[in-house]
Amino acid sequence: MSESQDITLLSPIKIGRQTLKNRMVMAPLTRNRAGDGLVPTEMNVTYYRQRASAGLIISEGSQIADDALGYPLTPGIHSEAQVVGWKRVTDAVHKEDGLIFMQLWHCGRVSHSSMLPDGMKPLAPSAIKPAGEVYTYEGMKPYETPQAIETADIPRIIEQYRHAACCAVEAGFDGVEIHAANGYLLDQFLRDGTNQRQDQYGGSIENRSRLIMEVTAAVCEIWDPEKVGIRLSPLQPFNDLYDSNPQATFSYMVKALNKFGLGYLHITEMGAETPGIAGPYFDISSLRSLWDGVYMTNSNYDYKSANAALQEGKADLISFGKLFIANPDLPERFAIDAPLNKPDPESFYGGDEKGYIDYPFLKQA
């Protein structure tokens, strides 16, 4: 992508054959407000409809199967009822001339047996217990030692991604994002701090990246690759993540993913200022030159810093999290340099309408 002083957050851009009306993406945001059966509710419909002025909405991470769940009240994308619930969301977004991708999520070891079918232990590449605690329906609990996925069971995991991708088609999404970031299952396979396998899915970088490549191939059998994105978080220490050589690991991963012709690569920059936690420091901006397509980044950008990143050619799209939580009409506010609502961290996770669908629009203020 060439540098251009004329590009701003408000400039349109094409992802494949789909045109985004601006370069502001609503980042995937876990909000823990799904209904019975982990089905989206009318409150969720309102939340997404309110934010349809984004160039693209990426849905909150939605588990691909019952045994992929990691947190209470996060929606799924694998049952008939969940498909129906999400269809109400996508219909509402489309009525507002918006675009929305579904984020496909498997939490892996970041879970607890109390939330999983038949009290099973969480799944992981290796039986390595994460440090810390996890939030469950019964409050905070220490993480458990997960069960290592048998080699023979990996095709079942890949099939779950394929099934969820099919469900996203039925639910009316415009595309899907594969969640391979933030210490969840695919990220756990990629990093040598969580993957100590001895089979073809462990050891070398090529082997550790194999599951991501196979999942991406399966999803691209269902979706045109230009309607598929993938999210990586090279320096993110979240969920007790570590890699001994992130420069080599993620450079290889990004270059390998080029072969699919995906709609975009979504890189989170968080963790870049904390070397030694997720792994040795490296210049995350180096990944930009390794990617052949549309490049999206995310890390507490504001209007000024985001425009600078676009104009300097550091990214093609910027995703915003907390600012979209608090400002459903964020593009309009940025366009006229209007004051922004301040996000309320106390209401980020779980609860009712407060801090979810009651942030005022400019016209209300």
Whether 47 sits among the annotated catalytic residues: the reply is no
| Residue 261 CB partners (closer than 8 Å, separation 6+) | 225, 226, 293
Identify the bridge partners of residue 266 per DSSP, sorted by sequence position: 231, 296
Which of 256, 327, 270 minimizes the C-alpha distance to 301?
270
How many CB atoms neighbour CB 87 within 10 A? 16
Q: Within a 10 A sphere around the Cβ of 122, how many other Cβ atoms?
A: 26
Q: Are 75 and 60 in contact (CB under 8 A)?
A: yes
Classify 315 as helix, strand or coil: coil
Residue 123, φ and ψ in degrees, nearest 5? -95, 150
Which pairing describes strands 317-320 and 295-298: parallel, antiparallel, or unpaired?
parallel
Contact 158, 218 (CB under 8 A): yes
SS3 261: coil
Q: If you ran DSSP here, which 8-state letter would residue 111 be given?
A: S
The tokens 């458990």 sit on which residue? 144
Q: Which two tokens stand for residue 46?
A: 């309102």
Which of 47, 143, 161, 184 is flagged as catalytic? 184
Rounded CA-CA distance 359/73 in Å is 21
String of DSSP letters for 21-69: SSSEEE---------GGG---HHHHHHHHHTTTSSEEEPPPEESSGGG-
- Which residues are identified as catalytic? 184
